[in-house]
Amino acid sequence: MDCCYHGRTDSYATLVSGQAAQQNPLTLDGSRSFKSWWLATVEYWRYNLPGFGLVRVRLFPYAKTVFDFLEQYEHVRALKGIDQLGPIRQVLPGAHHTRYEYLMAQLAIITELCHLRGQLPAGLSLGRRRNTFGTIDGLGQDPTNGEILMVFAMLGNIGHLPSTFSGERALMKYLRDHRRSAAAFRSGLPEADRERFDRALRTNNLYQFNYLIASFLLDRYRRRQGGASIADFCQAILRSFTTLQSGETDQSLVALWNLYRSLRRLTYLALDSHYAPVPFSLDLASIFFSLEHYLTDVFVEGSAFQEALERLEGVMRDTVYMAAPQLINHARVGDEILDRLEALDPEPATIGALWDLMGPDRDASTHFTAPSPPDEHGTPTGPIVQLAYDLDPALATSLLPDPLGWERGARQAVGLRSCRFAADFDPRHRHLKVTAALARTSSTSVRQKAALRVGKQLLDFETRIAELDVQLSAASATRNGLALLRFLLPQVLGEQRRFRLRTLPAVETSPVVRVYGSTRAAEVIGTYRDWAKGSGLLGADQLNEVVQLEAALRAIDYRGAIVAFAGSTEVIQSGQIVAEFDGLAILLSRDVSQPVLMIVEAKNTQSGNTEAEAQIRSQFRRLTIPDQDFEVSHLGTKGAYATVTLPRQGT
């Protein structure tokens, strides 16, 4: 039977047809008719949604029953205190919207969809009843598709801890490292969900974990009157959404969950772009007012609207969700929450202890709230570098099975007080961001040492990517390489200076090389030289610059981590170019007491080596690099290079 609330009207005639009322003489207390029960069970609210105004939310019987049930355990209250963007709010204070507001926005859109006439895209009817997930005691009929969407919108939020994904990744790490606690969590899930829990820990599927927490919490509510049927119903919905396979034969179920994914993305992008500092955002008011007319465009994959959402999501990912400062703070919060969990004594190794830890009215607010925001007292707020990778999702687990563990290991290798690392995937595991930051308050010499060690850790990470035979595009390799150079150069040549890196567009090979050993670096630069020569894009002078860099790399006989650049580097101070280098390399494995910087100058003339040496010395005087801190060597007749010990700019 199609939904009795399909159609834009508030009249009971369209809420329940006369025939339906006659066929459903259900009474809950022996006296109330189905009609009076229905009207009493439909909840109708108005909610002021920023960016739109007043929206209407109608909770139909199944949704209202679940909503009221969850509120008995203070889940709704908890959502009002959880920031939608979690610790991102510490970096972007204006992003103060809550999980409750996010839920209300979803429920408002579902309400509007339920009141549209006719079928939705893919032949889906939100009014059609579905017997896939069972029923809740006392409600009699199967739930409609619309009610299922409303219930799932609630369930997708109640599993979030106060610090959202930052705290949840800490809990996942804790459970991976503490088998007794993991066994207790597992035994607290329905048997049908336990293998999914094992897989989530094994594959570090952070973006599925809140659904498992929701299922765990629901299982604790079974003893309340009516709790068993509500828990079964809700857990079945959670299980369906998170385990839906591409070969699912029930196409109407596939269409239902695809619809939910679309409206969820529409909702969080609309709200988050409204609160976050991005140059454009979605107009929720226009979407609501034109929902019926543009229904297919808004919710069907492949439409122009969906393509626009995809682009907006990419912007939000790069500037809000996974921007460098936000990721560093995400890692900091997760790390400090993990410290709290590891300090628990005794270990929460029973179902009851875990319930005490995670329940909305228990200790979750103590253990999982974000610690104080970053300050100037040792928390890394200084120079930041971020590398980005587009990957096959199938490689995610092999590459980074334990992000928080990698962050801790890298930080330990560099120095706990001098840096912070962050690494995480987007929800679809297609994009990986790896970020590092230096502590602003450490001395210049400490930051110099830390910067080189950070560079080495990032190169080691890229070595792991290469071992998985991941082929990064030349453009991606160049973008990451230039980002690393912009991070390192201020540390080795002075933070008061800016650096402009000029190079050809990367087409087949990158001009930025990050490998172990100067000989290997020379070989890769040789590949770039061959491509540049064949492309005809470089003149004779520019080609000589690449040749001289290759020769310098072969001359220094260095076996450690190295980043080299076959392009022009302009050093800018007080708005003026004070030096320009034809090529350079930074030796990441060296201690700062040894030469760690190599500068190359090329002159395509008969006495080019002496001209190059003279230019090096002249530029170093302008950079106030003392003579005793560098040594110049000739490269045949057309170039020279200098190896430089880091100048000290004070502490």
Q: Dihedral (C-alpha) 25, 28, 32, 34: value to the nearest 10 degrees?
A: -40
Spatial separation of the C-alpha atoms in residues 511 and 583, rounded to whole Å = 10
pLDDT tens-digit series, residues 62-83? 999 999 999 999 999 999 999 9
Q: Average pLDDT, stretch 644-649?
A: 74
Q: Are 648 and 445 in contact (CB under 8 A)?
A: yes
What burial letters (b/e) apply to 641-651, b meaning 16+ CB within 10 Å?
bbbbbbbeeee
Give pTM, 2 decimals. Answer: 0.91
Spatial separation of the C-alpha atoms in residues 549 and 603, rounded to whole Å = 12
Q: Which residue type does 386 have?
A: Q
pLDDT at 17 (0 to 100): 29
* More confidently predicted of 2 and 628: 628
Q: Please state the separation of Cα 487 from the chain's center in Å.
A: 22
Lowest mean pLDDT among 34-38, 51-55, 428-432, 444-448: 34-38
Question: Can you list the alpha helix ranges (DSSP code H) found in 428-473?
Answer: 444-467
Residue 557 CB neighbour total at 10 angstroms: 9
What band does 119 get if pLDDT is binned at 50, 70 and 90? confident
pLDDT at 57 (0 to 100): 94
**Among all chains, which residue has been given the structure tokens 């765990």?**
216
pLDDT at 120 (0 to 100): 85
- The token pair that represents 627 in the structure block: 């003579």
pLDDT at 366 (0 to 100): 84
Which of 384, 400, 393 is CA-nearest to residue 461? Answer: 400
State the chain's mean pLDDT as an integer.
89
Which of 584, 550, 586 is CA-nearest to residue 565? Answer: 584
Strand partners, 641: 600, 633
pLDDT above 60 (res 190): yes
pLDDT at 648 (0 to 100): 57
pLDDT tens-digit series, residues 534-555? 988 889 999 999 999 999 999 9
Which of 569, 444, 583, 466 is CA-nearest to residue 516? Answer: 466
Helix H, strand E, coil C: the string for 286-324 is: HHHHCCCCCHHHHHCCCCHHHHHHHHHHHHHHHHHHCCH
pLDDT above 90 (res 280): no
Q: Average pLDDT, stretch 196-214?
A: 96
Measured over the CA atoms of residue 64, residue 44, residue 10 and residue 259, the dihedral's sign is negative
pLDDT above 50 (res 628): yes
pLDDT tens-digit series, residues 355-397? 999 988 766 678 999 988 765 433 446 899 999 999 999 999 9
What band does 13 get if pLDDT is binned at 50, 70 and 90? very low
pLDDT at 247 (0 to 100): 61
Backbone angles phi, psi at 33, to 5 degrees: -80, 170
pLDDT at 304 (0 to 100): 86
Please state whether 51 falls in left (phi above 0), alpha (psi between -120 and 50) or beta. Answer: left
pLDDT at 3 (0 to 100): 39
C-alpha atoms less than 13 angstroms from C-alpha of 385 in its C-beta half-sphere? 27
pLDDT at 313 (0 to 100): 95
* More confidently predicted of 26 and 89: 89
pLDDT at 350 (0 to 100): 97
pLDDT at 208 (0 to 100): 94
Residue 452, CA distances (Å) to 383, 484, 590, 603, 630 in order: 13, 10, 8, 30, 18
Total residue length of the chain: 651
Q: Are 357 and 363 in contact (CB under 8 A)?
A: yes
Spatial separation of the C-alpha atoms in residues 286 and 296, rounded to whole Å = 15
Using alpha carbons only, what angle is made at residue 71 by residues 65 and 77, rounded to the nearest 5 degrees? 145
Using alpha carbons only, what angle is made at residue 467 by residues 465 and 473, rounded to the nearest 5 degrees? 50
Which of 522, 501, 504 is CA-nearest to residue 513? Answer: 522
